[in-house]
Structure 1
């Protein structure tokens, strides 16, 4: 990111063309998309240091929020005797958190138009903080139902920061920077699912199981503080016809109060009944938009890919304890909470490797393709980065299934887990980036839709995995998953080759939503000569 900052300064000083450009480290000019205005309030013009601080604060908020609903994902077996319930009953508590992830954004994202993104993130973190205290207090024999409700409550708020992060990325970063930003952000979000469970496993090994909820209050509390101190509203209307909001106070404390308590000053203000009627209509439309995007042709196809390719890894993480913690005599591996935590390090390594790969190639690859195809940008160039994970993911799932079927050494399972998460985390940021760039005027609503596709399979799997495994065996259950990936790989090939046609269908059905940067020139003659 620091390199990008220096590029921006150089580009601003050296460009002599009407279009604002930056010069990369190879001496090539890259046209800035979108073109920034001359207004210092435009988030695209903010110093890179300020952008990074805001982005890092939102990343921490997304991490803390995402790990909290299912912080007992690896330790729920320890709760079985506490509630005198079955393992499946406690697995349903994990499903309650997943259900909250799916449903929460549809309920709360419309509030963005009333109090702003920053305030919605802030108050969702406060809700999560309360939900974790609630869950940690539910230790009595008769507390199973309240505990499960606490997981649903926390889940309703848990997905909000991860959804809203896409809006900050689109508002603050240019096209040639978004791939890196999405790679960092989405990997942090998914790492929270795995990493939160891992840390919970370490904690529960020598401590009461309820501590897996109490320790999360630290990261959630830190996120609340950092969001309040640093995060600013990044929405900026480039349409001169539409009245914008009045400037916020310059004083830091007054600015924070205006932004968060309750935040209505971050939105355009108006007077009279006509304005109020328009505001109500706008909020109703905002609530409908996620559903419109969810069922748009391009989202249905990409959503099917995400539903399978990201849902199966979520299923693997959600059911991990049911395979590894039972004793060897019962077909498991007899892992303790500590051993479970160490085992998930395989997924950690996969996530870390995907982070490194995505940081270097999620922007570089599509820009390279664009330059070698005439210098004109097409959104489908983003999807070139899905080829490698699409090839690897079926292999990882097949290895995982074979290891469980034949009770192979746990290191075989670890390799399979590494491949699964490495592949999934290579594909996820690219898929999110692509769909959001298909609906650039509604990045948050597009994220709501993709979140539903991503989590739904993992939620459904909690209820069907036992019967599915009984019907075909554990090996073929995951083997079928590998074949499902091959099927959606065909969909991805179709999107790479003909995605522009599907986007035209989407435009016909919803002209007001579909907006891309397709056809923009990303290089000039200087770049082509270089």
Structure 2
């Protein structure tokens, strides 16, 4: 049996990615765009190291986690374009039903702070699986709230749906850091974060098509399929990717090689993926660390940027129906559910363009900057890609406000919507990637913090937008939003130029949780002077 296991490990090692490995004592490198890139972090010789797994295996795991994040993110607000149709069912006002959308956003903000610490006991994969199952249960719950007195029950279903729905999206950053090298993460974060936001908008779009021909409860029923597919994908293919690179720290036992035994150890209940004897201490630490990161200097500055630049687009998506569905005599555009679904395609196009741009440049640009500045890596180089969205987002918001104020043709709003979502989705993966790389040992906790910043403004706006609009007018609601973006653009400029100073403050205040790859040599030519390659 040991011989079979040994042969299997040898085959596994032979399938490791085709990055060239230097002789002992030298740096391991990869070829990218005709240039040698030093692999950061340096992989070990252990086949259980996720960095050594075949690229095909990494992509399958990443795809399954992404599917779970997509399905769980689109489900809580699957009625965000159709909630007005529920007014007659519950005999409530439009603001009352808008509060059900806010309940889902509240779950998004608070849920990770309660659930994420449980990975210290059960592991990431188990938490993703049971979060997807919980999300499916909430969708079934909502679809059955069809009675006049079911408003409270329905709102609670949205709260719990938001609580479960945020979890896979938060945990995705951990898988990215575990499996991909520094020069691959930009692409991975671009794909993952754009997919998450696409789920928020795309779920509403698809529900709009459904609601055109079916009763409103079907906007929840159609999500059963993606959620079931995500549950099956996670159960069949997702593995534990945690790996201890510090020999002074305790490590968990290797996972079983047998497929069935591996699935049982991973998911039933998942405790074997964690280090024995440290679960209680780890649970307490994981409950505290998200708060430490949330109020760390670097997170406060980046969080403020995210709070505004991502919160305003979320507010635009959450309130879209209130602007476009009312008849023209009431100041709206008289859109049906189908019209509204087609209109959100502008956001789809913006997200698709951001996906292409991010895939092409989120790694290329910072690596180019690093080479131009001596070959040493600094996380702030990631932020160079935020310059373009910093210009475009205030233009999009201003155009959106002017279009609503003067009731311009809906194509003006469509262009504005494209600019808003293209810009927001260019910024989001970069900001997540940057902060995660400032807290490399705690990528999941860093994502919890950023998720709270990202959703909080959108949550608050649902409650204040009506009074805000009554005070300054619909045009200035969004005009002020454009000026807010210009203000936080100054924060981003400061981080680009002086982010390393803020990180030094963060290290002094939170030495136990900060860790980055700052100063690592990414170019083989510069590295060879101290690490000669034979």
Which residue number corresponds to residue 314 of structure 2? 314
Can you give the 5+ residue segments of structure 1 that lack an aligned partner in the other structure? 1-7, 270-274
Whether the 8 Å CA contact 2:17–2:55 is kept in 1: the answer is no
Residue pairs, 1:191-340, within 5 angstroms? 191-269=198-276, 275=277, 278-340=278-340
Question: Displacement, 1:13?
Answer: 5.0
Contact 1:82 1:141 in 2 (8 A): yes
The number of residue pairs the alignment matches comes to 516
SS, match of residue 290 in structure 1: helix
1:116 aligns with 2:123: yes
- How many angstroms apart in 1 are the aligned matches of 2:310 and 2:150? 33
Q: Residue 93 of structure 2 corresponds to which residue in structure 1?
A: 86
- Show structure 2 runs of 5+ residues with no match: 1-15, 530-534
Distance of 1:217 and 1:470 partners within structure 2: 39
- Among 74, 86, 90, the alignment partner of 1:67 is 74
Q: Does 1:466 align with 2:466?
A: yes
Q: Which stretches of structure 1, 4 residues or longer, exceed 4 Å deviation after superposition?
A: 13-17, 526-529
Select 1:12's aligned residue among 3, 15, 20: 20
Is 1:132 paired with 2:149?
no
Q: Are the counterparts in 2 of residues 29 and 527 from structure 1 also a CA contact under 8 Å?
A: no
Question: Helix, strand or coil for the counterpart of 2:30?
Answer: strand
Give the Cα separation in 1 of the matches to 2:332 and 2:268.
51
Cα deviation digits, residues 74-133 of structure 1 (max 9, x gap):
000110111111000000000000000000000000011101000000000010010000
Q: Distance in 2 between matches of 1:246 and 1:527?
A: 35
Distance across 1 between alignment mates of 2:105 and 2:247: 41
Deviation of 1:25 after TM superposition, in Å, equals 3.1
- TM-score (normalizing by structure 1): 0.96
Residues in 2 aligned to 1:515 and 1:262: alpha-carbon distance in whole angstroms: 31
Query: Please, what TM-score do these two structures have when normalized by structure 2?
Result: 0.95
C-alpha distance in 2, partners of 1:141/1:74? 21
Partner residue, 2:31:
23
Once residues 19 and 234 of structure 2 are traced to their aligned partners in structure 1, the CA distance between those partners, rounded to angstroms, is 31
Structure-2 separation of matches of 1:282 and 1:447: 18
* Residue 105 of structure 2 corresponds to residue 98 of structure 1: yes
SS in 2 for 1:12: coil
Deviation at 1:258, TM superposition (A): 1.0
1:53-64 correspondence runs (5 A): 53-64=60-71
RMSD (Å), alpha carbons: 1.6
- Matched residue, 1:157: 164
**Residue in structure 2 matched with residue 479 of structure 1 by the alignment:** 479
Cα deviation, residue 15, structure 1: 6.6
Separation of aligned partners in 1, 2:526 and 2:451? 41
* Counterpart position of 2:419: 419
Pick one of 179, 183, 192 that aligns with 1:176: 183
Q: CA deviation at 1:243?
A: 2.0
Once residues 461 and 379 of structure 2 are traced to their aligned partners in structure 1, the CA distance between those partners, rounded to angstroms, is: 32
**Contact 2:198–2:348 (Cα < 8 Å) also in 1:** yes
Compute the displacement of 1:10 (Å): 4.6
| 1:442-457 pair list within 5 angstroms | 442-457=442-457
